[in-house]
Chains A and B, each alone.
Chain A
Amino acid sequence: MGDLKRTPLFDLHVERGGKMVPFAGWEMPVQYPLGVMKEHLHTRAAAGLFDVSHMGQVILRCDPAALETLVPVDVVGLAEGRQRYGVFTNAAGGIMDDLMLANRGDHLFLVVNAAMADQDIAHLRAHLGDAVEVITDRALLALQGPKAEAALARIAPDVAGMRFMDLAVIPSDYGALWVSRSGYTGEDGYEISVGEAQATALAEALLTMEEVEPIGLGARDSLRLEAGLCLYGSDIDTTTTPIEAGLGWAIQKVRRTDRTDFPGAATILDQIENGAPRKRVGLLPEGRAPMRAGTQLFASPDAGDPIGSVTSGAFGPSIERPMSMGYVPTSSAAPGTTLFGDVRGKRLPVTVAPLPFRPATFKR
């Protein structure tokens, strides 16, 4: 794994028995000795600590309106100390990446996917020039689960008062923490940007708490899938629009009616008005066999051509059954529709289901 990058928590992962794998150019823990299933369940029952330092952290010192030229999101109207989910779109309306963006008063703070960070930063620099400052000296931790608040409040009491999608800079024994009440598991929790020199000490302090366990990428994936959240590169990419992906909620009204100058607006606004030809849906296989990414979906057991395919599929430890997401024609996207997935040459029944599979527990 010679050319892979390591986060400031690499040694901690190895010491705790993390199974290190290549992921998006980084050497990351896919699981710890607890195992994917128990790590998943622990996060839902107590609190899980994730190293997400491989994600890109970016500061933008520009007029919020300038970022609106790249994302179909209301950045101008985002209040100070608030964060919002968004997507970068291209001229065809496809999704270049998804991201979190926050208003920190005199600047914006962005978190982008690890695999897309280089491309995103080049894209930002091409349009926003010197306004782009890439953060390379801070780790990013996520603490997720119903006991995340109690755990983090022992270190930074002010986090208890934050609401979902609040963001604050909070002084601590580990330096200034950039804390947002958010995450990507469907659980209440926090993402914490911490200086790289203090990151291991902060992680160790959290992990000494009884309710906190380290969680790898394996459980991160099953948690986000149960929560109905998209993985960039699997569920969304440049061939999917935000409307097809069911992310229309991330395009606020003001970007649909007034400030409509964003990449791909013609396609995206048309799909908002007239509907998209296909949709991302939840899929619950009727049997026990998981339907993984790439599984072809058919309208009937003997239909000739597939109508869609699975983009993410796994076993859901909390819902105790396999679950998938995929794209199907809008005419086949109603919950309750029975489709058939080709699993090892057999057409197995699968039911279109509402997302998320498990309701989120955010603290609104």
Chain B
Amino acid sequence: MKYTEEHEWLDDVDGIVTVGITAHAAEQLGDIVFVELPEVGTEVTKDDEIVVIESVKAASDILAPIDGEIVEINEAIVEEPGKVNDDPEGEAWFFRIKPSEPEQMDDYMDENEYKDFIG
């Protein structure tokens, strides 16, 4: 598992990377009431704004952590945005991406580094 400074987690299983937000991020955002996901098939570039999350407090963007193609999205969190607060690092993943530059993953933190990062 890898972590970004934008509080995303990346789980690489057999070359497909599942992306979500960390429990820390979900707690900071507060109750999430709206999620907009990219369409399957979208080619994204690292740092593209591809997801919008709205909490009771404000809107925030989630950036594409790596280059690649969106191969699956989690419609369940669009239907029930509150799932992101309930299980951000499990059931409430956001999208799956097939990386075109897999080595971009190497730049991200491991779990211990992320724990240090959030203090």
Contacts and interface: CB of A to CB of B under 8 A. Distances in A.
B30 A288 contact: no
Interface string A274-310: 0000000000000011101000000000000000000
Interface string A307-328: 0000000110100001000000
A344 to B, nearest CB: 7
Contact of A289 (B36, B57, B58): B36
Nearest to B82: A37
B31 A36 contact: yes
Contacts of A35: 30-31, 56, 85
Ranked 6 nearest A-B pairs via Cβ: A315-B33, A37-B31, A36-B56, A288-B34, A35-B31, A290-B54
A319 to B, nearest CB: 12
A31 interface: yes
B102 to A, nearest CB: 30
27 contacts: A31-B30, A35-B31, A35-B56, A35-B85, A36-B30, A36-B56, A36-B57, A37-B33, A37-B56, A37-B82, A218-B30, A218-B57, A288-B34, A289-B34, A289-B36, A289-B52, A290-B54, A290-B59, A292-B58, A314-B56, A315-B31, A315-B33, A315-B34, A315-B54, A317-B56, A322-B33, A322-B34
B89 to A, nearest CB: 18
A290 B30 contact: no
Contacts of B57: 30, 36, 218
A341 to B, nearest CB: 13
A290 B34 contact: yes
Interface string B31-51: 101101000000000000000
Query: Which among B59, B78, B81, B85 has the greatest number of chain A C-beta atoms within 10 A?
Result: B59
Interface string A338-364: 000000100000000000000000000
Contacts of B56: 35-37, 218, 222, 314-315, 317
A56 B30 CA distance: 30
Interface residues of B, number: 15
Contacts of A218: 30, 56-57
A222 B30 CA distance: 14
Contacts of A314: 56
B73 to A, nearest CB: 15
Contacts of B33: 37, 288, 290, 315, 322
Interface string A214-229: 0000100010000000
Contacts of B31: 35-38, 315
A227 to B, nearest CB: 16
A288 B30 CA distance: 17
A311 B5 CA distance: 33
Interface of B: 30-31, 33-34, 36, 52, 54, 56-59, 78, 81-82, 85
B83 to A, nearest CB: 13
Contacts of B81: 288
B30 A292 contact: no
Interface string A12-52: 00000000000000000011000111100000000000000
A322 B32 CA distance: 12
A289 B52 CA distance: 10
Contacts of B54: 289-290, 315
Contacts of A344: 52, 59
Interface in A153-170: none
Given A30-B57, A288-B34, A290-B54, 20 more contacts: A31-B30, A35-B30, A35-B31, A35-B56, A36-B30, A37-B31, A37-B56, A38-B31, A290-B59, A292-B58, A292-B59, A314-B56, A315-B31, A315-B33, A315-B34, A315-B54, A315-B56, A317-B56, A322-B34, A344-B59
Nearest to B56: A36
Nearest to A290: B54
Contacts of A38: 31
Nearest to B27: A35
Interface string A133-149: 00000000000000000
Interface string A53-83: 0000000000000000000000000000000
Nearest to A315: B33
Which of B31, B34, B58, B85 has the most chain A CB within a 10 Å cutoff?
B31
